[in-house]
Amino acid sequence: MTLRARGLRYAYPGGHAALDGVDLDVAGGERVAILGPNGAGKTTFMLHLNGLLKGEGELQVAGLPVIKPNLRELRARVGLVFQDPDDQLFMPTVGEDVAFGPANLGVQDVPARVAEALAAVRLDGFEARAPHQLSMGERRRVAIATVLAMRPALLVLDEPSASLDPRSRRELLQILETIQATLLVTTHDLLFAAELCERTVILAAGRVVADGPTDALLADAELLARYDLELPRLVNASTTTS
């Protein structure tokens, strides 16, 4: 198992139970979408996977229990891509941002790692560019490159298609489809989930309320309605008339 959570609970200071007993297993190589309404706990769950937040219960990721002594190793094995690339990029150039992780790990040939990660997100040659002068879609790809440069076993992305135009969204899908790591993606973009992930988990009020093949879950109108999930209307129309 690349991920094993049992009874994972977390309350933010102030007492709000954001995770209320999450049980989840993800095997190596799976691509899993995590859907759910605003406030369901999706981001909170993601932040547990490399120990940025620490809840109660059992959590093992990439072969390691998520406990303090393992945090350094976990941050190498688990790549977290935040929803806002500006939370991830903080160096003057793209090259330095992508080099930061591998340099910290003591990797031998950092420039080769950087070139490889930028090529994977189709930003070859962007090393000298300033992140703040890139478009949103490009910044998101740089953010993904910063974690790919660590060659993570598990790649976790929070709403990767948010605020991308259709072409950038399509390019991102193609990039993610070629990535070898186990993938966990939270999204409100149900079609993005359907194209990328064979499996979907629905989180609501801090618990897993559904888990199964993406196609089956997205075809269950009652289930979607119950958790405030909605397919684009035109797609509904074409599926009901065909």
Ligand X SMILES: Nc1ncnc2c1ncn2[C@@H]1O[C@H](COP(=O)(O)OP(=O)(O)OP(=O)(O)O)[C@@H](O)[C@H]1O
**Cβ atoms within 10 Å of 65's Cβ, excluding its own:** 12
**Greatest Cα-to-Cα distance within the chain, rounded to the nearest angstrom:** 57
Partner interacting with residue 111 (select from ligand X, Mg ion, none; CB below 5-8 Å by kind): none
* Residue 161 DSSP code: T
When asked if residue 52 is in the footprint of Mg ion (CB under 5 A), the reply is no
- The nearer residue to Mg ion, 42 or 113, going by C-beta atoms, is 42
Pairing assessment for the beta strands 78-81 and 207-213 based on DSSP bridges: unpaired
Partner interacting with residue 113 (select from ligand X, Mg ion, none; CB below 5-8 Å by kind): none
- The nearer residue to ligand X, 91 or 162, going by C-beta atoms, is 162
DSSP assignment string, 175-186 = HHHH--SEEEEE
- The nearer residue to Mg ion, 31 or 42, going by C-beta atoms, is 42
Footprint on this chain of ligand X (rule: CB under 6 A) = 12, 14, 16, 18, 36, 38-44
* Residue 83 DSSP code: S
The residue number whose beta carbon is nearest to Mg ion equals 43
Cβ-in-10-Å burial (0-12, 13-18, 19+) of 178 comes to: exposed
Part of the chain binding Mg ion (CB under 5 A), chosen from 38-46, 84-92, 148-156, 231-239: 38-46
Q: Work out how close the CB of 123 gets to ligand X at its nearest, in angstroms, rounded to a whole number.
A: 26
- By CB under 5 A, name the binding residues for Mg ion: 42-43
